[in-house]
Copies of this chain bind each other. A is one copy, B any other.
Amino acid sequence: MSYNLLKGKTGIIFGALNNQSIAWKVAEKAYAEGARFVLTNTPIALRFGELNELAEATGSLVIPADATSLTDLEMLFAKSMEHFGGKIDFVLHSIGMSLNVRKDRPYDDLDYSFLMKTMDISAFSFHKMLQTAKKLDALNEWGSVVGLSYIAAQRTLFRYNDMADAKAALESIARSFGYIYGREKHVRINTISQSPTMTTAGSGVKGIDDLIDFTDRMSPLGNATAEECADYCVTLFSDLTRKVTMQNLYHDGGFSSMGMSERAMHTYSRSLNCEECREKLD
C-alpha cells in the first residue's frame, strides 16, 4: 500500500545497518512513498552491514560518514545536494552507541571518556548534523528532521545505563534546535520514542527479551514494530504534519501512558503466587 506521500521529496537516512534496523525499514517505506534519499553510516558499519543491498533496492546513493565528524557531515550534505541537484526535505537520525553498555560498565562505575563518546555519538551528532545542514542551507523550507529516542529519557530502566542521559540530551537538542531552525527556515525537528525493538543493536542487551515481553503485555496495542515505526516516520516527513515541532512523540502501542495493565499484572502475579517462583525472589 502506497500513497505517494513523499513524492518528489529527498532525504538523508542515518543509521541503517541491516534489515533489522529501523532506519532500513524507514528507507524501504520512504522509497515506496516516492522519496529519493542518500543512505549513510560509518565506514565500519558499512563494512559489517548490508547497506549496498538496500541502496540497490531503493536506487539510493551510499555516502560513508562519521556523524560525529564535522568534516564528514559537510561532505555528506554537500554531496547529497549535488546528487539531488537541490536541497533536502527530510533527515532521519537513528544513531546510538554506548561503550559503557558494551563493556559492561555499570552506571555507578562509568568510564568518563566512554560517557563523552556516548554523548558525542548518540546526542551531539544530532546537533552537528543540524548545525552543518543549517550552515550549508541544505534543508528546504518546511523540511522535517526526526531523531529516534526511547522512554529511558524520562524513566529509568536498569541496564540502559548512560544511554538514558544521551537520549535526554538528544530530545533536548531537538527542542533547542527546533526553535532556531523553525523560526528561520520553518524546519521542524522531532524525536520518536519507539517501543523497545529487537534490532542488532538491541539484541546485545542482556535480558532484553523479558523486557520486551513486559512492554508488550503492558501496551494495549502491543509493542510497535520497526515497520510500523517507518510508517510513522513517513507521516512526519510528509506535508501533513507541518506544524508539529519540538515534540517527543511516543510510538509505543500506548506503553508510555500505562501504569499497569491486566495482562502484565497477571504475569507478574503468577510468580508471586507460585511457590517455586517465590523461593527464588529476593
Contacts and interface: CB of A to CB of B under 8 A. Distances in A.
Interface stretch (A37-45, A49-57, A83-91, A228-236): A228-236
A258 interface: yes
Given A153-B172, A274-B277, 19 more contacts: A3-B3, A3-B5, A106-B180, A107-B176, A108-B131, A110-B127, A112-B124, A116-B116, A116-B120, A158-B261, A178-B220, A182-B219, A183-B220, A221-B242, A231-B241, A232-B241, A246-B258, A267-B271, A268-B271
A172 B169 CA distance: 9
B257 A281 contact: no
Contacts of A207: 265, 269
Nearest to A234: B240
A232 B258 contact: no
A234 B120 CA distance: 36
A10 B232 CA distance: 21
A228 B254 contact: no
Number of copies: 4
A254 B246 contact: yes
A156 B257 contact: yes
A265 B134 contact: no
B112 A254 contact: no
Interface in A191-226: 195, 207, 210-211, 213-214, 219-225
* Chain A, interface residues (CB within 8 Å), range: 35 or more
A241 B159 CA distance: 28
A39 to B, nearest CB: 22
Nearest to A186: B221
B158 A179 contact: yes
A249 B244 contact: yes
Closest A-B pairs by Cβ, 10 of them: A182-B220, A168-B172, A155-B259, A246-B257, A224-B243, A271-B271, A270-B271, A157-B259, A3-B3, A231-B240
B269 A210 contact: yes
Interface string A165-184: 10111011101111111110
Nearest to A230: B240
A145 interface: no
Nearest to A242: B228
Interface string A248-282: 01111110111111111111111110101100111
Contacts of A250: 244, 247
B261 A270 contact: no
Interface in A47-100: 70
